[in-house]
Amino acid sequence: MAVWDEAPHVAALTFLPLVVLFTARWWLAAAISMALSVSANAFGATAVTITLACVLVAWAGSTPLSNTFRVAAAGALGWLLIAGWFPLSQLVSMRQAAELHGDGWSAGSWTALSLVVLVATCTWILCVRFRLSPWATFIALFASTMTAIPATHAWLNRVFLPQPGRYKMEAELGLALVLAFASFSLLRRLPLPLKVALCAVALSVAAEQTISHRKFEKLNVRSADMTRTIEARIANFFQQNMPSARVAVPGSIAQWLNNYSRQQQFAGSSWSTAYNPEQQRLNTAWQGATTPEEAARSIASLRDYGVQAYAVPGRNSPEFWKAVAKPELHSDCPLLWVEDETRICAIPQEGESMANPAASFRWLSDNEAQINGAVPAGAPVSVRVTWHPGWRAFSHDRELRISRDPLGLIAIEPLGAGPYEIRLVYDGGLELKLTRVLTYGTWIGVLLYALVKGWSRRLGREFHVWRTR
């Protein structure tokens, strides 16, 4: 968690045991636990789905149709509770982003999926053979399935889920449960002296692990003057010298830039949920360039997205990830700033290749902008903002048609020749509006149900007391 921020993932994992415990009896509490897990981190969606599948298989012997209906209803209610913040289009974006970064679906994905199913099937057969209880069967199924997902990626280089290696967290949880209950079953049959000796060994190993983790934590988590970090210094330079510019910065600089400033940047959010594939391809291209030609071509393309400067951390830069593959390719760039082998380079804006870019673009709020300029008759206006169905454009109370250009940015329908003023507004689009209505309505329904349920129970108790007088 110190090197790679798994805190949201761990938060999602925290609610997983509650999902299992509540599903059997309290469907509403189970649905809320599912919603909390998924809202904490997108990995929660996959973990909850696999967990519920393991629950259904483990308790398949008792009322399978009723169990399936209960689980499906709780899962649907859980999604409705967060649909306004986790719409189905988000899953499409995640799958698309995974394909761009090497975790997409391929022929090998069928192999990975079939192997995971095979492992789960063999586990279930063994559980039936040894007549394990439903709880023991669930733990064995959960542990084997969650372990098989990162194992097929690490050992066979096969994937069917985005970022399969990060399911080690779920695998560790499952294996810890298997180890605990299996050890208990074995230890209770041993004589007391042997139990004491084995416990002493286990405690010694645990102490070694605790000390090792503590040393690792001290190495990575320590007090520091955040204003002197390379990330803070670069953010400070941009804010003082080019506060309205859009910049391209890699690695940890991108992750921290908007903690220190409101600087516009080309990238910086999580790539795994990025919406514009063209932007993601270019972000990979400029950082991964291996020849002068690739570097020059990708930097010129950054200009089309309105980028005016970019940062290049060198081999010995304090920047954590060293995300630029060959920083030496940028050694003779137009230099704006350099410290600790980390450069900020300007991108010349002459030779504009984008047709009719907005001459003046000003953000009015996070969801609204004003655009001014002048165009020839019949020419569209190009806006350097990622296209999404939720964007709407207005000019003098007339709504203008918006489309997606080849860069994945906004193109506004042709206007009459001459100056123009356009107001750009983001309202989320039809999907976001519908899912927000569903979510708010579901929460209102859940609260009303809880109030009515509590009120009826109170009335029932009072009526019982009255009758017994």
Q: Report the alpha-carbon distance of residue 418 to residue 72 in Å, rounded.
A: 58
Could you report the per-residue pLDDT of 191-234, keeping only the tens digit for each? 989 989 998 999 999 999 999 989 988 887 778 788 899 999 99
Amino acid letter at 302?
A: L
Structure tokens of 308? 């005016």
Q: Report the alpha-carbon distance of residue 323 to residue 251 in Å, rounded.
A: 5
Mean pLDDT, the chain, whole residue set? 90
Q: Report the alpha-carbon distance of residue 141 to residue 134 in Å, rounded.
A: 10
Could you report the per-residue pLDDT of 407-422, keeping only the tens digit for each? 999 999 877 777 888 9
Q: Report the alpha-carbon distance of residue 330 to residue 288 in Å, rounded.
A: 12
When pLDDT is cut at 50, 70 and 90, the band that residue 469 belongs to is low
Q: Report the alpha-carbon distance of residue 13 to residue 33 in Å, rounded.
A: 11
When pLDDT is cut at 50, 70 and 90, the band that residue 466 belongs to is low
When pLDDT is cut at 50, 70 and 90, the band that residue 364 belongs to is very high
Catalogue the E-assigned strands of 266-359: 307-313, 335-339, 342-346
Q: How many CB atoms lie within 10 A of CB 98?
A: 19
pLDDT at 1: 46
* Phi, psi torsion values for 61, nearest 5 degrees: -75, -15
189 pLDDT above the threshold of 90: no
Residues in the chain: 469
Could you report the per-residue pLDDT of 18-47, keeping only the tens digit for each? 999 998 788 899 999 999 999 999 899 999
pTM of the model: 0.87
Cβ atoms of 345 and 284 closer than 8 Å: no
Cβ atoms of 284 and 352 closer than 8 Å: no
Q: Which of 177-181, 268-272, 318-322 bottoms out in mean pLDDT, i.e. has the lowest?
A: 268-272
**357: DSSP letter:** B
88 pLDDT above the threshold of 80: yes
Could you report the per-residue pLDDT of 330-362, keeping only the tens digit for each? 999 999 999 999 999 999 877 555 555 666 888
**Which residues on neighbouring strands pair with residue 370, listed in sequence order?**
362, 423
DSSP-derived secondary structure for 158-222? --SSSSGGGGHHHHHHHHHHHHHHHHHHHHTTS-HHHHHHHHHHHHHHHHHHHHHHHHHHHHHS-
- pLDDT average, residue stretch 270-282: 91
